[in-house]
Amino acid sequence: MILLEQICKKYHREGQEIDALKDINIQVEQGDIFGVIGYSGAGKSTLVRLVNYLEKPTSGKVVVDGQCLNKLNKHQLRNTRKQIGMIFQNFNLLESKTISQNVAMPLILEKMNKNEMKTRVNELLQFVGLEDKQMSYPNELSGGQKQRVGIARALATNPRILLCDEATSALDPQTTQSILELLKKINKEYNITIMLITHEMQVIQQICNKVAVMEQGEVIEVGSVLDVFGYPEQLTTKKFVQTVISNKIPSSIKRKLKEKSEKNIYKLEMVGNHATKSILHQLIINYQLHLNVIYTNMAEIQETTLAIWYVQIEGEERTKRAAIDFLERQKVRIKEVTIE
Q: Which stretches of the chain bind Mg ion, using CB under 5 A?
A: 45
Pick between residue 45 and residue 209 the one whose CB is nearest to Mg ion: 45
Pick between residue 44 and residue 210 the one whose CB is nearest to ligand ADP: 44
Pick between residue 20 and residue 161 the one whose CB is nearest to ligand ADP: 20
In angstroms, rounded to a whole number, what is the distance separating the alpha carbons of residues 5 and 23? Answer: 8
Note whether 89 binds ligand ADP by CB under 6 A: no
Pick between residue 41 and residue 250 the one whose CB is nearest to ligand ADP: 41
CA 156 and chain centroid, separation: 24
In angstroms, rounded to a whole number, what is the distance separating the alpha carbons of residues 103 and 125? Answer: 8
Contact 313, 320 (CB under 8 A): yes
Contact 287, 323 (CB under 8 A): yes
Q: Which residue is nearest to Mg ion (CB)?
A: 45
Give 318: exposed, middle or buried? Use CB within 10 Å, 0-12, 13-18, 19+: exposed
Contact 99, 130 (CB under 8 A): yes
Note whether 11 binds ligand ADP by CB under 6 A: yes
Minimal distance, residue 14 CB to ligand ADP, in Å: 9
Site string for ligand ADP, 31-70 (x = CB under 6 A): -------x-xxxxxxx------------------------
CA angle 108, 113, 118 (to 5 degrees): 80
Pick between residue 19 and residue 227 the one whose CB is nearest to ligand ADP: 19
Note whether 138 binds ligand ADP by CB under 6 A: no
Note whether 334 binds ligand ADP by CB under 6 A: no
Residue list 176-215, contact with ligand ADP (CB under 6 A):
none
Note whether 107 binds ligand ADP by CB under 6 A: no
Minimal distance, residue 149 CB to Mg ion, in Å: 21
In angstroms, rounded to a whole number, what is the distance separating the alpha carbons of residues 285 and 275? Answer: 18
In angstroms, rounded to a whole number, what is the distance separating the alpha carbons of residues 203 and 34? Answer: 11
The binder of ligand ADP chosen from 4, 7, 20, 196 (CB under 6 A): 20
Q: Helix, strand or coil for residue 31?
A: coil
Note whether 106 binds ligand ADP by CB under 6 A: no
Closest to 59 in 3D by CA, of 14, 26, 24: 24
Contact 230, 306 (CB under 8 A): yes
Minimal distance, residue 69 CB to ligand ADP, in Å: 18
Minimal distance, residue 286 CB to ligand ADP, in Å: 48
Q: Helix, strand or coil for residue 186?
A: helix
* 274: partner contacted, choices Mg ion, ligand ADP, none (Cβ within 5-8 A by kind): none
